[in-house]
Every structure is written in C-alpha cells, then in structure tokens.
Amino acid sequence: MSDATYHIVHETNYQYAVPVRLSHQVLRLTPRSLPWQTCTSHFINILPGPTNLINLYTDSFGNALQSFSLDQDHSSLEVYAESWVEISSRTLPVSTPPWEQVAETLSYHAQRNLPPDMLEASSFMFESSHVRIKLEFARYALECFTPGLSLLEGVGALMRRIFNEFTFDPEATTVSTPVTEVFVNQRGVCQDFAHFMLSCLRSLGLSARYVSGYLLTQPPPGQIRLIGADASHAWVSVYCPGSDGQPGFWIDADPTNGIFPDISHVTLGWGRDFLDISPLRGVLIGGGAQTMQVAVTVMPAEEVPGLPFAR
C-alpha cells in the first residue's frame, strides 16, 4: 500500500522569434518504476502535433525517453506531461561500512570481475560535463568524512554542510555555470548543489549519480496550493556495496533541503549530471531568439479537484 499518491503536471512552452523549420526533441518526463515508486498513469501531449510517431525507448541508465520530430514551420512548442505516481516510505539502512572501505572497494583492481550492480555504479565515479574531480572538493568533503565514519553518516554530514553554508539563489547561476564557480560563491539552485555534492563525493573515490525529479512543496499556512508554482528538483544518490553476497544499494540525499528523500520526492530518472537527464532537449533549424516557460504542479491526490476523495 502506498503512503502517498500524487498528480503531477509538467508544462513546457517555447516561443520562437522566427518560425522553426525543423525540430528534433527528446523528452525525459516519465517517472521511473522503483521498489518504492509506481507510475500508474502517464500522458504526454505535444502542440503542434509531431509529424511522425513518438518513439519510446530507454537510455543507457534505464530512463524512459520519448523522441519526436516536427518538420513543419512552427513559432511555438508546447509539451504537456501528466502523471499519477504512488510513493511508499523508504527506510535508511541500519548500518553502512566506513566510507574509506567503500572507496577502497570501488577503486580499480586489475583483472577483477565486478558484480552487475558495482559495474553499473562504476560509471558514476568519474568527471562528467558538470561534475569535476579536484583536490579542493576532496578537502571540503573530508571535513565531513572523518576517519572511520560510516558512509551514511558521512553523506548526511556533507549534505547538511552544503545546506547550511550555501544560499539558494535562482539569480546566481545558469545551467552552464561551472561547479568551481558555485563552490567559490556558495550560491545557486538545486542543480548546482547536486553537482557540487557529486563533485565532492567523486573526489573521494565514491560513486554518486545525479537524480532528477519533483518535490512536493507546502504552501504557506492558510494559503491554497498554487497551480504551476512548483519546479523540477534535483538531488544525489550514493552507492554502497553489498556484503555477504548481497547486492549493493543507493542512498539518496537532498543537499538543497538538508534531508534524506522520502515520500515527498518523486524520481524521474538519473544520470552522471544534468545533461544526461534534462527533461526536454533537442536541436532545431530556425527559431532565432527563444523564450521558455515551465510550470510544474505536484498535488496530493486528496487535493485534486473533481476526485471523490478531494478535500
């Protein structure tokens, strides 16, 4: 039985200064099916309608993708994604190995055969477009990952330090701001904080991935939930190898809010960084200057108008 059911609407609108002649787009807007999460319904509408069939497939990380093309002139593009998701509560592991042991287990050993879960995790240990491995990041992380500390405690300490020392500021960065600049200014948004925490973790030899999804936000006391006022969210997930023949597992951490994700977090997918899991990405011919507006609403089922159990 689920602990929460959410109705999620993600709307993206592009306006182009001059008509676009050809557009190829890839969508990553389908919530993943996970042991604690079930997407019971998913619908996507595109205007203008694609000139060919929408292709459905999964990427190398197991995320669901849709791709489509538009080859008629258009001055706008609207993508409407609607999902129903059931979430069950997650429990943190009772104990985890010391973080140094985890780093040693993940380090390279010649002629070693890795189990499938560790082989998958190894792809999240290196630099990527938005994640850097640097001594300065390792030094910052080592103030949290003290000798002999368990992996879970170290992840929690680093997560809380970023939450306490960094300032959420939507005007401070763009999608292309380097993580080194985020570190210097200690300002940014969830995407920046996730990239910085990933840089710290990977600089210690740990495996960590970028998670994209949604967060249920609460309106101020006495006010109603605003439609379209939410946004996509990002956090990190850290790999812990299993023991005694058991597979490894992942620990999610949200440095923007200083919490371990539970039923308020809805997972879309994951990758090495934002570029692997951006909700909508493509190429086009024409268009000139463009503007984009995104509106996201995450609403508990009991608040959805028109349903029998709505309040």
Percent of the chain past pLDDT 90, that is, above it, reads 74
Compute the half-sphere exposure of residue 59: CA atoms within 13 Å on the CB side of its CA: 21
Q: Which of 231, 167, 169, 160 is nearest to 197 (CA)?
A: 160
Please tell me the predicted confidence (pLDDT) of residue 226. Answer: 54
Across 66-72, average pLDDT: 90
Range in 39-48, 230-239, 283-292 with the lowest mean pLDDT: 283-292
Please tell me the predicted confidence (pLDDT) of residue 224. Answer: 62
Q: Which two tokens stand for residue 113?
A: 């055969």
Give the dihedral sign, CA 193/217/299/91.
positive
* CA end-to-end span of the chain: 21
- Where in the chain do CATH 2.60.40.2250 domains reside? 4-88+277-303
Q: In a 3-state reduction of DSSP, which class is residue 102?
A: helix
Residue 28 clears pLDDT 50, i.e. is over it: yes
Across 225-230, average pLDDT: 59
Please tell me the predicted confidence (pLDDT) of residue 109. Answer: 82
The Cβ of residue 224 has, within 10 Å, a number of other Cβ atoms equal to: 8
Using pLDDT thresholds of 50, 70 and 90, give the confidence band for residue 217: confident
Using pLDDT thresholds of 50, 70 and 90, give the confidence band for residue 110: confident
What fold characterizes domain 99-275? C8orf32 fold (3.10.620)
What fold characterizes domain 4-88+277-303? Immunoglobulin-like (2.60.40)
Please tell me the predicted confidence (pLDDT) of residue 32. Answer: 95
Please tell me the predicted confidence (pLDDT) of residue 124. Answer: 97
Please tell me the predicted confidence (pLDDT) of residue 239. Answer: 98
Mean of the per-residue pLDDT values of the chain: 91
- For residue 129, the Cα-to-chain-centroid distance in whole angstroms is 15
Please tell me the predicted confidence (pLDDT) of residue 146. Answer: 96
Across 10-20, average pLDDT: 93
- pTM exceeding 0.85: yes
Cα three-residue angle 186-189-193, rounded to 5 degrees: 60
* pLDDT tens, residue by residue, 231-254: 789 999 999 998 877 889 999 999
- Where in the chain do CATH 3.10.620.30 domains reside? 99-275
Q: Which two tokens stand for residue 279?
A: 């909700």
Pairing of strands 167-168, 187-188: parallel
* pLDDT tens, residue by residue, 136-167: 999 999 999 999 999 999 999 999 999 999 99
Q: Which residues contact 253 (CB under 8 A, 6 or more apart)?
A: 155, 156, 158, 159, 197, 235, 236, 237, 238, 260, 261
Residue 227 clears pLDDT 60, i.e. is over it: no
Residue 310 clears pLDDT 50, i.e. is over it: no
Across 253-268, average pLDDT: 95
Amino acid (one-letter) located at 278? S
Residue 50 clears pLDDT 80, i.e. is over it: yes
If you search the block for the tokens 């999964």, which residue do you land on? 58
Please tell me the predicted confidence (pLDDT) of residue 247. Answer: 87
Please tell me the predicted confidence (pLDDT) of residue 53. Answer: 67
Percent of the chain past pLDDT 70, that is, above it, reads 93
